[in-house]
Structure 1
Amino acid sequence: MRITCIARVAAGLIAWAPLALFAGSGAVAAPAKPYARMAPVDAYLMDRGQEIALARSAAPRSISRDATVLVLTRTGYETAVTGTNGFVCWVARSFSGATDWPERWNPKVRAAGCDNPQAARTITEIAKLRTAMTLTGHADAEVAERIKAALRTGKIPPLASGSMCYMMSKSSYLSDDGGHNLAHVMFYVPFKDGADWGANATGSPLFGGNYWFYSPDHQAEASAFPPLSVLLVGVSTWSDGTPAAMPSM
């Protein structure tokens, strides 16, 4: 169960919209939110060299050594290393994604990912925009409208076929739930859910979730965005080649 929960979180961490399977029935009063508000910005920042190393650890060295690397600053992500292979490695923070995730303001989250060229043109750009606007004090509604406008006008291009991300860092921290990490790769697909791929079915190696929101209570809001899902497959090694536990449903 621990690995399953982490997989559900990880399925949305680059998109930052973990599976709605986390949502409770509401029959029991929910405990006080441990991360009710944003921590001081310094709590989310890292030493620049350490952040570059963590970002590169998302993918095997054969990929990440030639990738562009982003680092977080007080006003958003900036390019620390310009790569040559089109991949973009970066360390996501808890507020880089879904606004309804319970751990949205968790300062411990350090989710290393390496987007391939197709994903970098769309997914990375969405996360960069969302992060920059959040750090500079914009309301969630403003952020959502800016993302919609960027997608509508082509400032951020539509998702390309074959978009995917490596999340194989041994040193990531994805969530307070369970063991905090999971070696996996993710695929971004332009449809509402992963049923056509068998995602989340008993015994299936695929986990899936909506990109835009954590909870199914936001169907109306999600429908205002282009259909976008995240599909996750656990892998048996970390990026350095050492064994990693495999997820199970």
Structure 2
Amino acid sequence: MKCRPTRLFLLLGVILQAQARAASAPYPTMAPLDRYLIPDRDVEIALARSAAPKSISDSAEVLVLGRGGYEVAVKGANGFTCLVERSWSSGIDDPNFWNPNLRGPLCLNAPATRSYLPITIEKTKLILTGKSKAEMSDAIKSAFENKTLPAIEPGAMCYMLSKDGYLDDRARHWHPHLMFFVPLTEAKAWGADMPGSPLLAAEDAADRLTIFMVPVAKWSDGTPDSAH
């Protein structure tokens, strides 16, 4: 009988730890697929195009997400590709990896279309065929090793100027910004993340790239970023 309080405390400790883990991981598993889809195709096309000024996005190819992966909704003529990324384009350890609310509109230039977009396409295919995060990560690693996924090309970049995006539960649409993709490198080599530097960086070892971000003053429709 004397051991019961100790066991009770241990049980309470396990429960509290589980609750803490759940609180820190609000999206522990994939939601039903319908929650990641945008039912109205025209709405998704418009959201994708909102990532860049009309002078770019009006002639860009546009992809939309279907049940089998991304599909071409509008043929392009200027080398750019616009789409709305979903949560699994986040880093493997990102708490938003399974967040069904995430919508990341971006317009990729031609080098990024050839070398960054295939990563997004492949991740999406793996997730929609039922792969787990770990299985997806292993498959992407193998694809890079086998050179079935290309290395990032010089000059690869994208526009993320949509005020209607939803990048996570805290930042929402964050700030309008440009992103530059380079092979994995140290942020300090570009002076990123240093006091007074306008340049931010995110290293993604799994995708073998570093993303440099430059916030800008206006959204794609020309209105100012009030928080800039």
Alpha-carbon offset, residue 246 of structure 1: 5.6
After superposition, give the CA deviation of every residue in 1:25-51 in whole Å (9 maximum; x if it has no partner): xxxx66342111111111111021100
Conserved? CA contact 1:97–1:127, under 8 Å: no
Counting matched residue pairs gives 207
Name the structure 2 match of 1:106. Answer: 99
For the aligned residue pairs, the C-alpha RMSD in angstroms reads 1.8
In the alignment, the residues of structure 1 paired with residue 134 and residue 26 of structure 2 have an alpha-carbon distance, to the nearest angstrom, of 23
Alpha-carbon offset, residue 179 of structure 1: 4.7
Name the structure 2 match of 1:67. Answer: 60
1:53 maps to 2:46 = yes
- Structure 2 counterpart of 1:177, which letter? R
Alpha-carbon offset, residue 193 of structure 1: 2.5
Conserved? CA contact 2:105–2:162, under 8 Å: yes
Alpha-carbon offset, residue 79 of structure 1: 1.0
- Structure 1 counterpart of 2:216, which letter? V
1:199 maps to 2:198 = no
Conserved? CA contact 2:51–2:162, under 8 Å: yes
1:232 maps to 2:213 = yes
Name the structure 2 match of 1:242. Answer: 223
Name the structure 2 match of 1:117. Answer: 110
SS at match of 2:116: helix
Conserved? CA contact 2:178–2:215, under 8 Å: yes
Name the structure 1 match of 2:34. Answer: 42
Which one has a bigger Cα radius of gyration? Answer: 2
| Residues 92-171 of structure 1 mapped to structure 2, 5 A cutoff | 92-171=85-164
Q: Unaligned stretches of 5+ in structure 1? A: 1-28, 213-221
Conserved? CA contact 2:184–2:204, under 8 Å: no
Alpha-carbon offset, residue 137 of structure 1: 0.6
After superposition, give the CA deviation of every residue in 1:170-199 in whole Å (9 maximum; x if it has no partner): 111111114543200000011333111111
Q: Unaligned stretches of 5+ in structure 2? A: 1-19
Alpha-carbon offset, residue 95 of structure 1: 1.4
- Structure 1 counterpart of 2:120, which letter? A
Change (3 A) 1:153 1:100: same
Conserved? CA contact 2:165–2:172, under 8 Å: no
SS at match of 1:185: strand
SS at match of 1:192: coil
| TM-score of the superposed pair, with normalisation by structure 1 | 0.77
After superposition, give the CA deviation of every residue in 1:44-92 in whole Å (9 maximum; x if it has no partner): 1102110000000100111111111110111211111110111110001
Name the structure 2 match of 1:218. Answer: none
Conserved? CA contact 1:234–1:246, under 8 Å: no
Higher mean displacement: 92-101 or 231-240: 92-101
After superposition, give the CA deviation of every residue in 1:76-118 in whole Å (9 maximum; x if it has no partner): 1111111011111000111123221001111111110001110
Change (3 A) 1:132 1:32: same
After superposition, give the CA deviation of every residue in 1:183-231 in whole Å (9 maximum; x if it has no partner): 000000113331111111111101101124xxxxxxxxx4xx64x1000
Report percent identity of matched pairs. Answer: 47
In the alignment, the residues of structure 1 paired with residue 138 and residue 171 of structure 2 have an alpha-carbon distance, to the nearest angstrom, of 35
